[in-house]
Amino acid sequence: MKLKEYIKDELFKIILIIVYIILICGLLCAFNFGVQMAALMAVLAAIFFIIMFIWDFCRKFKKERNDESMYLRNRTSGGDVVSDGSA
């Protein structure tokens, strides 16, 4: 999975996080917590989102690469996966 494809898949989550950050900043400013507090909360939310985004992308990328290598390994070995019938 390429990053561009992943961003397309996660576009709805990205939009929701952006709206969340804007709402939090607006509410903090409206209740007189100050611009510094709103900026701090926005930065923290963005950092957590970026970490979550990278973690999920790496997990999906690794799984896809593993699935692809298993497919190629089974294909080049000349046989199908043999089931022991326990499933």
Q: What is the pLDDT of residues 15-67, one digit of tens each?
A: 999 999 999 999 999 999 888 999 999 999 999 999 999 999 999 888 888 88
Whole-angstrom distance, CA of residue 45 vs CA of residue 48 = 5
The answer, yes or no, to whether residue 7 has pLDDT greater than 80, is yes
Alpha-carbon distance of 72 to 66, in angstroms, equals 10
Q: What is the C-alpha to C-alpha distance for residues 60 and 44, in angstroms, rounded to an integer?
A: 24
pLDDT of 46 reads 93
pLDDT higher at 14 or 67 = 14
Q: Look at the block and give the residue holding tokens 């390994």.
A: 73
